[in-house]
Amino acid sequence: MVAAPCGRAATRVCTREAATTSALAAVALADDDSAAIATGAAGTILERGSGGTWTATTTGTTVDLRAAVIAGDGRQYAGGDAGTLVLSANGGASWSVVHLGTQATLYALDDL
């Protein structure tokens, strides 16, 4: 972790954490700021809990994940290559594959 002054206020400190070496493609933040996920290469998903720390999680897929969304009900989704969509209904503790019947790459997800 690297801490350095950032922003206009000299007392404000920003941190950068290295939870992965994989390239990241998308990030999603819960409406209430209680959680965040970042997705990327080779099935990478990073979870940020309420404590603010990012941790890598296992998704069960190795395809590149290019999209992320956290729905209003707290479910977390990540999508990517070959029509892959994974879902966590328990805050990222486990992920399951959602079969969409397509091989199209998912570049964006939205909670409508």
pLDDT tens for 43-69 read 999 999 777 888 999 899 999 999 999
DSSP state of 82: G
pLDDT tens for 3-27 read 444 455 555 555 556 568 889 999 9
Confidence (pLDDT) at 1? 38
Contacts 24+ apart (CB under 8 A), 43-47: 44/20, 45/78, 45/86, 45/92, 45/95, 46/19, 46/20, 47/91, 47/92
Structure tokens, 66: 């290019």
Domain ranges for the chain: 21-112
Is the model's pLDDT at 36 over the cut of 50? yes
Backbone angles phi, psi at 91, to 5 degrees: 70, 25
Confidence (pLDDT) at 107? 97
Domain 21-112 = CATH 1.10.3470: no
pLDDT tens for 81-92 read 999 999 999 999
